[in-house]
Copies of this chain bind each other. A is one copy, B any other.
Amino acid sequence: MDDIRALTFDVFGTVVDWRGSLIREGEMLGRKKGIEADWAAFADAWRGLYQPLMERVRAGQLPWTKLDELHRIGLDSILSRFELGDLDEHEIDELNRAWHRLDPWPDAVEGLKRLKRKYVLATLSNGNVALLVNMAKRAGLPWDAVLGAEVARAYKPQPEAYTRTAEFLGLKPEQCMMVAAHGGDLKAASECGFRTAFVARPLEHGPDKEGDAGGSGNWDAKAADFNDLAKQLGC
């Protein structure tokens, strides 16, 4: 563990609460436009299209398409189902950018600041650069580098997403620790040689659903939140 130089982070669900934030954005839009919708169902439906749309890129059915554009394809397909069919282009674009305005989990900013003293902190997210930069600017996330799918031109869990991120950082995979709340992400990173840290985010899918079951995996570290991870890593 002493060789670790960089921590690479999954972002959606691990650093930020995408579901709670999308509900908040939906409620704000609803008050402004007089729309009553089930915003939790809206958030879940939109996020539900995330993996299928990325899979079309991974499978080569779509050319490289950044996540902002995949989010927009998904949003367009559910607008009418959630009484959003009358929004104009500007309003739809603003709603699509809700992903740029996701709120961090309560421990995230403080934990990252602690971890940053000892490690290079980089995103290793499927989010595109602009999304992640705007999110970080708003939320105060202190990244040293914004990397991941767009600069690697590969969506996790494709191995190139991990290996190219390590190469950009000038590090061997074993000098990088993937931090995620999802077992599948950690498994893919581990298969590329990364060290792994599972952070529990039991509320990712809302209070009535369970968090990712990946916590039972055999990872290098398991933490209750980012401050706990910082403590375990001696920060």
Residues of A within 8 A of B (CB): 68, 120, 122, 128-131, 133-134, 136-137, 144-147, 150-151, 168-171
Complex copy number for this chain: 2
Q: Which residues of B contact A128 (CB under 8 A)?
A: 168, 170
- Assess whether B68 is in contact with A129, with CB atoms less than 8 Å apart: no
- Assess whether A145 is in contact with B146, with CB atoms less than 8 Å apart: yes
- A144: nearest residue on chain B (CB-CB)? B133
Given contacts A144-B137, A146-B146, contact A169 B120 (CB under 8 A): no
Q: Which residues of B contact A120 (CB under 8 A)?
A: 133-134, 137
Given contacts A128-B170, A170-B68, A170-B128, contact A133 B145 (CB under 8 A): yes
6 shortest interchain CB distances as A-B pairs: A130-B170, A129-B168, A151-B151, A145-B146, A133-B145, A133-B144
